[in-house]
Amino acid sequence: MGNFLLIFSGSFFITLFVLMMQFTWRYVDEIVGKGITMDILGQFYWYMAITMVPMALPLAVLLASLISFGNMGERLELLAMKAAGVSLLRIMRPLAVLVIGLAGVSFYFQNRAALDAQKNLTSLLWSLRETSPALEIPEGVFYGKINNFSLYVERKDVATGKLYNVMIYKTDQGFDKAQIVVADSGRLEVTNDKEHLIFDIWNGEQFENLQVGGAQAALNTKGVPYDRETFQYKRFIIDFNSNFEKQDAEQWSGSAITKNLKQLSASIDSMNTALDSIGLANYKQGKQTAYYCPPLRPQHAAALKQMSKGAKLDFDTIMARMSADKRVQTIRAAAASAAAYASELEWKSLTTEEGDKSVRSHRIQWHQKFTMSIACIFFFFIGAPLGAIIRKGGLGMPTIIAVILFIFYYIINTSGMKMARDGAWNMIFGMWVSTVVLTPLGCFLTYKANNDSVVFNADVYAALFKRLLGLRSKRNITRKEVIIETPDYAALLEQIADLEQICKAYAAHKRLYAAPSYIRAFFKSRPDHAAEDIQQRVEQLVEELSNSDRREILYRLNQLPLIYARAHTSPFENKRLNVLCGALLPVGFIMWLRIWRFRLRLHKDMKQITAVCSELSPLVAKAAGKEATSYDLLTSKQNPSNQYNNHDE
């Protein structure tokens, strides 16, 4: 527990620092060059740190659990505890209680502590945006950070503060009446209250366009009147407030990110009520305008109803009876009415879209308070078993894995939140998709680590991949240097003959080249005992003949295929999985094609086994004959008396 808390503290502050630097880099243009004092920067980073706590906690829990259990696995502490009968779940139990408490702390920060910090942080950011930048005039480029002024300075003297070869574009009266000022030198100073700039210039000219007419005046070929002034000294007083003035934080209290659960629920209810009222009002107005039908007297309505019985209303016939002018007038009136109503609907949709967007933003904040808290829990159940599996501590491999997992979670969470905010996804699905994706991973890793199952074994996944795609390896039988038990070639010769006949009969009876029955493959699947018997016979033959010292026999054995005795009948051994796969038609169709592929391959395998058996038979018979001859010679050498007895006879 103490080791975990120590690692968690370090991970938390490192994570918090990284997130704060990322946030600072995001708003660096709003901070740099504004002449902000240290107390304002201190407030900025303090409020930022508080708002970043809920985001830093899940990553810190993941990193701390990975490192802690990786250290215990690397020092064989987990192995010793498991040998003593303590399961991994029991080892994780006290830390799981602690992590649940941290999830509660995260929820408290989001629902209580971070709200005021979020308001103050937002207020500081907007205040920084409104603050004028510190005055630093560059050389050789236009400087446009002064309101309605664009200033160019060719050279400046830092010691005296003089500016040389100055050009000014002054647009305080609009771009149509822009003033251009050129001067030999100048001096720019800030007033004591830091609310104005005093710009003194010497020996220059000022040009001003006197005619205002936009593009039409520019096309006037008779010339445009202008004013040109030569001066020896001129002063400009420019509004330039460089003082930092913090805005009132309470003006952001209506934002969704500054409300707790109770306030969010109340705001959502009130906004939904308002939107329903607007929709009802729009519906009533639409019935009175676009779908308005003038009322009829009862006697007229009855007569019209009687006349309409059996009558067929044809729009083309009605239009054909009109005169040409009347027809054109009617079409134009209908088009104008439709365009006006479409414009009205578009205007009304802007109001409802803004309302829906505000409701979605409030609901996002409501769900996010829970998702960020629960992230601490399932990240612990990912990090702890993963550390026990990889058995690596320190800041190397665990840090890389933690960052990759967190980036994966962050991408899914951000994408889901964006889709929910835009209304493309359901709100619950979009906000909880990251939890739904990563929670099964935590359960899987916890189960595997608790049972000491192999997780990161590439051979296991390679075998599963080959089995899924129907890939298979080739036999690799080589000649043994030492043979303890030689094959019984005479008995094997009979086995080869039997195997050849069985394969021929099986291929003729099963008709493997034909398409399989979909119902039988998924809903009435049965094991193929004949194929299983052939598989056992082939493997037994290979096992016994692999002790042969004859290269030609070993070469023929390598040509015998590896048989999958069940893949051509059904995709799974479990009947329930077969039924489920068959019910899901797209998946079932793919698996049906896979079964057919295995049937065709098994048909080729039967032919190949038959051909190999026909080639093996003479080789084994030859080996059996030589073995018998060698046996007779050996027997005669061991019993010489038989020779004498035969000679006497």
For residue 224 the two structure tokens come to 């445009």
Residue 637 has pLDDT above 70, yes or no: no
The predicted structure's pLDDT at residue 421: 87
The predicted structure's pLDDT at residue 135: 60
The predicted structure's pLDDT at residue 272: 86
The predicted structure's pLDDT at residue 634: 40
Residue 629 has pLDDT above 60, yes or no: no
Mean pLDDT of 582-593: 88
* 3-state SS, one letter per residue, for 285-343: HHHHCCCCCCCCCHHHHHHHHHHHCCCCCCHHHHHHHCCHHHHHHHHHHHHHHHHHHHH
Which has the minimum average pLDDT: 57-61, 87-91, 217-221, 467-471? Answer: 217-221
What is the enclosing helix (H) or strand (E) of 189?
strand 179-190
Residue 606 has pLDDT above 90, yes or no: yes
The predicted structure's pLDDT at residue 649: 35
Chain segment 513-540, per-residue pLDDT in tens: 889 999 988 998 888 999 999 999 999 9
Sequence-separated (6 or more) residues with CB below 8 Å from residue 73: 79, 387, 388, 389, 390, 391, 392, 393
Pairing of strands 142-146, 196-209: unpaired
For residues 304 and 4, the model is more confident at 4
The predicted structure's pLDDT at residue 460: 66
What is the enclosing helix (H) or strand (E) of 502?
helix 489-510
Residue 376 has pLDDT above 60, yes or no: yes
Mean pLDDT of 453-469: 67
Chain segment 288-342, per-residue pLDDT in tens: 776 666 676 776 677 777 766 666 667 777 778 788 888 888 888 888 888 888 8
Which has the minimum average pLDDT: 94-108, 332-346, 371-385, 625-639? Answer: 625-639
Sign of CA dihedral 74, 78, 82, 84: positive
Residue 67 has φ and ψ, to the nearest 5°, of -70, -45
Residue 215 has pLDDT above 50, yes or no: no
CA-CA distance, 118 to 116, in Å (whole number)? 5
Percent of the chain with pLDDT over 70: 85
Kindly list the distances between the CA atom of residue 617 and the CA atoms of 480, 483, 486, 490, in Å, as whole numbers in the listed order: 22, 22, 17, 10
Mean pLDDT, the chain, whole residue set = 81
Q: pLDDT confidence of 209, banded at 50, 70, 90?
A: confident
CB 445 within 8 A of CB 385: yes
Residue 609 has pLDDT above 90, yes or no: yes
CB 259 within 8 A of CB 267: yes
Q: pLDDT confidence of 459, banded at 50, 70, 90?
A: low
Q: pLDDT confidence of 173, banded at 50, 70, 90?
A: confident
Mean pLDDT of 37-49: 85
Mean pLDDT of 594-607: 92
The predicted structure's pLDDT at residue 605: 93
For residue 137 the two structure tokens come to 């005039």
Chain segment 487-506, per-residue pLDDT in tens: 888 889 899 999 999 999 99
Residue 104 has pLDDT above 80, yes or no: yes
The predicted structure's pLDDT at residue 290: 66
For residues 646 and 57, the model is more confident at 57
Mean pLDDT of 53-77: 87
The predicted structure's pLDDT at residue 220: 53
The predicted structure's pLDDT at residue 124: 81
For residues 174 and 17, the model is more confident at 17
Residue 369 has pLDDT above 70, yes or no: yes
Mean pLDDT of 429-456: 83
List the 179-190 sheet strands across, edge first: 142-146, 149-156, 162-170, 179-190, 196-209, 226-239
Kindly list the distances between the CA atom of residue 379 and the CA atoms of 364, 371, 383, 437, in Å, as whole numbers in the listed order: 21, 12, 6, 12
DSSP secondary structure of 45-82:
HHHHHHHHHHHHHHHHHHHHHHHHHHHHHHTTHHHHHH
Residue 258, amino acid: T
Which has the minimum average pLDDT: 187-196, 233-242, 279-288, 299-308? Answer: 299-308
The predicted structure's pLDDT at residue 453: 67
- What size, in residues, is the chain? 649
Mean pLDDT of 165-180: 80
Residue 644 has pLDDT above 50, yes or no: no
The predicted structure's pLDDT at residue 366: 92
CB 131 within 8 A of CB 242: yes
Torsion of CA 143, 144, 149, 153, to 10 degrees: 10
The predicted structure's pLDDT at residue 530: 92
pTM for this entry: 0.61
Residue 558 has pLDDT above 70, yes or no: yes
For residues 214 and 6, the model is more confident at 6
The predicted structure's pLDDT at residue 245: 60
The predicted structure's pLDDT at residue 91: 85
Calculate helix-pair angle for 324-390, 88-108, nearest 10 degrees: 130
CA 100, chain centre distance (Å): 26
The predicted structure's pLDDT at residue 412: 92
Residue 175 has pLDDT above 80, yes or no: no
